Amino acid sequence: MKLSLNEPIIIVNFKTYLESTGKKAIKLAKQAEKASKETGIQIAVVPQFVDVRLLSDIVEIPVLSQHIDAITPGSHTGHILAASIKEAGAIGTLINHSEKQLKLSEIDKIITTTKIENLISCVCVNNPNVSKAISALNPDIISIEPPELIGTGVAVSKAKPEIVTNTINLVRQINKKPIVLCGAGISKPEDVSVAITLGTKGILVASAVVKAINPFELLCKFAEAIKKIEK
């Protein structure tokens, strides 16, 4: 499964919720797949490491890893090897999520590794300044997620639109290539519309979808919100 960086993207981070672990991860991923097929909008899923192969084998939508470590093959018990998540079917990875922040030299090394392994790199940043710095490291995707809004239901795109526009501007000053997503607090279709209007290519969403009564329905609404703006 490929992810096109020229088309809008919804990335669903499964985190370590029980609602998105193991068998429940399958169910959720299938709903994401169905929503993607029905709406034509790309939806990628980001399960826990142990569930990467499980989902890659079952659904026909892109599967990302939540993290990889700045290591090469060898003696690194308990670490995440890029080659292993790739062989399991992941086509890319989150890097530096606010819940798994990394040293700068590690981020640099991991982005380099993703290029070698032909994996898509999605680096999460906490503010526009940091997005500018990351832009210099040339990842595929930069996702702006102010940590203070994660899990609040208050969307960055609505509550602090200037953070999103500043991010896009600062990223572009350095590098035309990376696409920008936004996350943190995205829970309503309107949050998605605003994110796209502000210039992002899509969203990174977690609890709102994982804990939704009907994730399929919510993802469809998100996708439709994107389609309306894109026209």
List residues with catalytic annotation: 97, 145
- Contact letters (x/-) for a second copy, 70-109, by CB under 8 A? -x-xxxxxxxxx-xxx-xx-----x-xxxxxxxxxx-xx-
Count other C-beta atoms under 10 Å from residue 57's C-beta: 11
3-state secondary structure of 180: strand
| 40 forms part of the interface with a second copy (CB under 8 A) | no
Element (H, E) at 9: strand 9-13
Amino acid occupying residue 21: T
* Residue 114 Cα distances to 58, 63, 64, 83, 106, angstroms: 24, 15, 12, 9, 12
Per rule CB under 8 A, count of chain residues that contact a second copy = 63
**Contact stretch for a second copy (CB under 8 A) within 1-9, 27-35, 68-76, 188-196:** 68-76
Q: With CA atoms as reference, report the closest residue to 115 among 142, 140, 96.
A: 140
| 110 forms part of the interface with a second copy (CB under 8 A) | no
DSSP conformational letter for 139: -
| 176 forms part of the interface with a second copy (CB under 8 A) | no
Q: Nearest distance from residue 81's CB to a second copy, in Å?
A: 4
Cβ atoms of residues 145 and 156 within 8 Å: yes
| 13 forms part of the interface with a second copy (CB under 8 A) | yes
Count other C-beta atoms under 10 Å from residue 2's C-beta: 9
| 114 forms part of the interface with a second copy (CB under 8 A) | no
Binders in 192-211 for a second copy, by CB under 8 A: 206-207
Among 31, 36, 42, 48, binds a second copy (CB under 8 A): 48
Residues of this chain that interact with a second copy (CB under 8 A) are 13, 15-18, 21-23, 46, 48-54, 66-67, 71, 73-81, 83-85, 87-88, 94, 96-105, 107-108, 125-127, 129-130, 132-137, 150-151, 170, 174, 206-207
